[in-house]
């Protein structure tokens, strides 16, 4: 009994005049201007719609309010859509006009190849408002004739925040993938979404990201779609109420109170363009690999020719030099020869006017900077008798073996900086190779894991703003959005491997010609042969390719430093290699070099997130301190150390020198070079403080690449100044490297994306493929920069080949 009374009471209270509906048989494509009944009385418009027809409804009201809005419900056979006027988007944006496309009948269940039922069904529009006074409105329901897009045909559309638009497209079976290209002349922010066929369609700003893939755009956008993922889909266009997501500066500042806007309309075009099939990718990929294999063949021909030339040069020059050393060594080891005879013998053989080196008390032959091997050190030798009077003074041998005295000479020779045992030095430089392999392994594995996780996150979330691709030339394959940007890094890996092979061949050739002839030749002639840094350079080039490919799995500001870090390493290793050529004893240890590089990589990471005045102050101090330390090392050739004894050394220097000698530099050549280099580096620091570039990691590449180029030019200039000839192949490598770098930099500057901007702004720079309908500007940059690095570091393989049979005490240090 109580339940019956309760039901009766609910029926009476829930039966106001709103159930008294005014039903109107309406016609499509006809505008109805009317007003609502007071107190929520329904006005119902009934339309007859076929299942194959797509209906769009337009509704406008000038005098509805947010307190008593005009309510509209659109009922279909299997879907219901409700709106209210004014429609509120975000916080303070209100619109008096709304236009929505109703979900077509049967799209959830009917496959693309099955015809639709042409029987008509009812569609109703129910309008009501709980205002005591009538609210005027305008209503129109009309058919969409061009709801489905056609491949290759461009369609012009317009949309606003309250009037979203969506279309349908079915990928033909003959295609593997297509790209949806959207272009506009204005910069109004809009979201483009790709959604599965079904109802409801999420086409408002507050729900468009709930389904499918979506990206923001202003002037240009593109979405590549694989048929294996979606063969039939909706393309939804939703205009944002403001531009804060697409731009760093909001073009519309939110007002403190409600703002009614109906003029924010975006005009755009949409085009479906077919992408190459998966099998068509084989041609551009094969051409790239084939071009690199041609370089392999040319390198093999070049190495074979150089090997023949070296053997011929050994016959012409090497034998005479080695036989001279043999004769000299045998005379030094004979105890019956006097010191004067030894000096005369050396002068006769080598033409040197410099006094001879004396054998040490252990019997080790130390000829003009010769580095005794461990076997030589243990050999017994004659005991030399030295008078007590002579013992009170330093002999010439004492001066030469004292590295502090040797390095303080104004005119240093390579023999003065190659006194340490060769095996000890070579082991030191091979630490660069093993340390870099270890660093690369521990660095690359988490990177690959992380970017693959990001790629999976993009696929699951559908948020295409997480990765900064060139969507106009993104070629999907194996579930990767831009496989072309990954494959184009193969040049780094293959050319880095080729470089390692050329270094190994050079090492074996040296052993066959020079090292196999006489043990002392290694330590007497030419620039000391150490290949550890060259191997490290080859590995660094390969790691650059691997990490660059990892970055391009999902390029963004969060992982840009992955491959940039190895760019820093390549630049630093190049400078260290040039310095090591004539400073083998005093080059930096591997752990020190990589420790400083770790500092710069840390600063690069901080520059991405804290690009403000305090960061630039800290960076400037760190950079200047490193610059000062490098300058001191280069100027004093390892004589000064920044340790606890620095104060006593400075005090001793100040007391033992005159005022004039403190002002006038003792090593004028080094001073001029350091002055120019430090001025350029200080200019770089001041430029950074003034500009504060958003892309700090790229900006930090300038000192590494710039200093490497400056040091190489200085080295070549000093060689020519000291009348050291450059080999023709060295000049050719230099010219080809410069040409490749010029071409590569053009493609790098003409970027097709920029993670320092918002995703929508970056897409404005997106460009179609320029090579084989597969590679874009950045892909060509990958190939050309890999070739440029290979050419640049191939210079090191022949830079000092002209000094192979020149005595080290005749090779100037600079």
What are the boundaries of each domain within the chain? 15-111+119-145, 146-275
Q: How far apart are CA 778 and CA 776, in angstroms?
A: 6
Residue the block writes with tokens 């490193």:
626
Taking Cα atoms as reference points, which of 270, 112, 274 lies closest to residue 192?
270
Record the tokens describing residue 450, joined without a space.
């992380």
Give the 3-state secondary structure of residue 40.
helix
pLDDT at 403: 60
pLDDT digits (tens, 9 = 90+) for 232-278: 999 999 999 888 888 865 444 555 455 556 578 999 999 999 988 88
CATH topology of domain 15-111+119-145: Jelly Rolls (2.60.120)
Structural Rg of the chain based on CA atoms: 39
pLDDT digits (tens, 9 = 90+) for 479-525: 888 899 999 999 999 999 999 999 999 988 888 776 656 555 556 77
Packed helices 696-721 and 668-691: angle between N→C axes, nearest 10 degrees: 160
Taking Cα atoms as reference points, which of 220, 214, 332 lies closest to residue 268?
220
User: Worst-scoring range by mean pLDDT, 109-113, 240-244, 437-441, 778-782?
Assistant: 109-113
DSSP 8-class letter at 773: T
Which band of pLDDT confidence, cut at 50, 70 and 90, is reported for residue 407?
Answer: low
Q: Which residues of 8-33 are buried (b: 16+ CB within 10 A; e: fewer)?
A: eeeeeeeeeeeeeeeebebeeeeebe
Within this chain, domains 15-111+119-145 and 146-275 share the same CATH topology = yes
pLDDT digits (tens, 9 = 90+) for 22-46: 788 888 889 999 888 877 788 889 9
Residue the block writes with tokens 């080949």:
801
pLDDT at 381: 39
- Beta-bridge partners for 58: 99, 140
Cβ count near 141 (within 10 Å) = 23
* 635 against 538, higher pLDDT: 538
Listed in sequence order, the DSSP H helices in 692-776 are 696-721, 728-749, 759-764
pLDDT digits (tens, 9 = 90+) for 719-753: 999 888 898 999 999 999 999 999 999 999 998 99
Q: Is the peptide bond before 200 cis (omega within 30 degrees of 0)?
A: yes
Q: Give pTM, 2 decimals.
A: 0.80
DSSP 8-class letter at 795: G
Domain 146-275: top CATH class:
mainly beta
């Amino acid at each position: 009994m109580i339940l019956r009374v309760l039901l009766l009471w609910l029926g009476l209270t829930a039966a106001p005049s709103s159930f008294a509906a005014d039903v109107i048989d309406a016609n499509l494509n006809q505008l109805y201007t009317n007003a609502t009944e007071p107190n929520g009385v329904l006005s119902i418009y009934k339309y007859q719609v076929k299942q194959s027809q797509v209906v769009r409804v337009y509704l406008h009201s000038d005098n509805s309010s947010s307190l008593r809005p005009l309510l509209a419900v659109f009922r279909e056979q299997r879907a219901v859509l409700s709106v209210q006027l004014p429609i509120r988007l975000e916080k303070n944006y209100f619109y008096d006009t709304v236009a929505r496309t109703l979900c077509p009948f049967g799209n959830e269940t009917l496959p693309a190849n099955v015809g639709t039922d042409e029987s008509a069904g009812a569609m109703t529009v129910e309008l009501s408002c709980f205002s005591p006074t009538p609210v005027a409105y305008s209503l129109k329901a009309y058919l969409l004739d061009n709801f489905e897009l056609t491949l290759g045909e461009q369609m012009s559309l317009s949309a606003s925040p309250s009037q979203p638009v969506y279309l349908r497209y079915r990928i033909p079976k003959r295609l593997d993938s297509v790209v949806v290209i959207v272009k506009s002349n204005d910069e109004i922010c809009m979201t483009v979404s790709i959604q599965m066929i079904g109802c409801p369609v999420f086409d408002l700003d507050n729900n468009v990201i709930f389904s499918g893939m979506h990206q923001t755009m202003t002037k240009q956008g593109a979405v590549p779609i694989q048929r294996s993922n979606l063969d039939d889909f909706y393309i939804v266009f939703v205009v944002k109420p403001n531009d804060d997501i697409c731009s760093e500066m909001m073009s519309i500042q939110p007002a403190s109170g409600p703002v009614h806007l109906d003029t924010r309309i975006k005009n755009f075009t949409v085009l479906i363009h077919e992408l190459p099939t998966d099998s068509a990718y084989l041609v551009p990929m094969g051409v790239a690999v084939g071009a690199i294999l041609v370089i392999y063949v040319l390198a093999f021909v070049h190495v074979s020719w150089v090997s023949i030339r070296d053997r011929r040069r050994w016959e012409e020059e090497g034998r005479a030099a080695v036989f001279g050393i043999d004769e000299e060594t045998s005379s030094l080891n004979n105890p019956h020869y006097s010191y004067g005879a030894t000096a005369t013998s050396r002068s006769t053989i080598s033409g040197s006017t410099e006094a001879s080196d004396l054998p040490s008390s252990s019997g080790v032959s130390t000829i003009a900077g010769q580095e005794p091997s461990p076997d030589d050190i243990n050999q017994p030798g004659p005991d030399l008798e030295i008078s007590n009077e002579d013992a009170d003074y330093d002999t010439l041998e004492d001066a030469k073996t004292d590295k502090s005295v040797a390095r303080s000479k104004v005119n240093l020779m390579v023999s003065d900086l190659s006194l340490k045992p060769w095996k000890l030095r070579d082991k030191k430089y091979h630490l660069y190779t093993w340390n870099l392999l270890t660093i690369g392994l521990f660095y690359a594995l988490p990177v690959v894991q992380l970017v693959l996780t990001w790629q999976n996150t993009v696929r699951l979330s559908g948020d295409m703003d997480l990765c900064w691709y060139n969507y106009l030339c993104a070629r999907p394959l194996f579930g990767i959005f831009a496989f072309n940007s990954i494959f184009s890094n193969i040049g780094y890996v293959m050319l880095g491997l080729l470089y390692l092979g050329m270094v190994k061949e050079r090492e074996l050739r040296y052993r066959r010609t020079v090292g196999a002839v006489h043990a002392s030749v290694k330590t007497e002639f030419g620039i000391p042969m150490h290949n550890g840094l060259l191997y490290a350079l080859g590995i660094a080039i390969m790691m650059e390719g691997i990490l660059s490919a990892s970055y391009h799995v999902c390029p963004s500001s969060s992982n840009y430093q992955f491959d940039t870090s190895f760019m820093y390493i390549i630049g630093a290793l190049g400078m260290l290699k040039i310095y090591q050529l004539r400073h083998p004893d005093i080059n930096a240890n591997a752990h020190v070099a990589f420790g400083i590089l770790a500092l710069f990589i840390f600063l690069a990471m901080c520059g991405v997130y804290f690009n403000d005045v305090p960061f630039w102050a800290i960076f400037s101090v760190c950079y200047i301190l490193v610059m000062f330390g490098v300058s001191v090392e280069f100027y004093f050739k390892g004589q000064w150390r920044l340790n606890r004894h620095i104060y006593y050394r400075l005090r001793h220097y100040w007391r033992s020198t005159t005022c004039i000698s403190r002002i006038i530099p003792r090593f004028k050549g080094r001073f001029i070079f350091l002055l120019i280099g430090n001025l350029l580096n200080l200019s770089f620091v001041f430029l950074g403080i003034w500009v504060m570039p958003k892309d700090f990691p790229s900006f930090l590449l300038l000192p590494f690449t710039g200093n490497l180029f400056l040091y190489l030019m200085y080295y070549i200039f000093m060689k020519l100044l000291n009348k050291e000839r450059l080999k023709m192949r060295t000049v050719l490598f230099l010219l080809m490297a410069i040409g490749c770098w010029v071409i590569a930099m053009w493609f790098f500057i003409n970027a097709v994306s920029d993670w320092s901007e918002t995703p929508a702004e970056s897409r404005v720079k997106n460009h179609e493929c320029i090579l084989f309908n597969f590679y874009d500007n950045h892909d060509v940059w990958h190939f050309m920069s890999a070739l440029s690095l290979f050419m640049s570091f191939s210079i090191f393989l022949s830079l000092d080949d002209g000094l192979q049979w020149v005595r080290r005490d005749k090779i100037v240090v600079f």
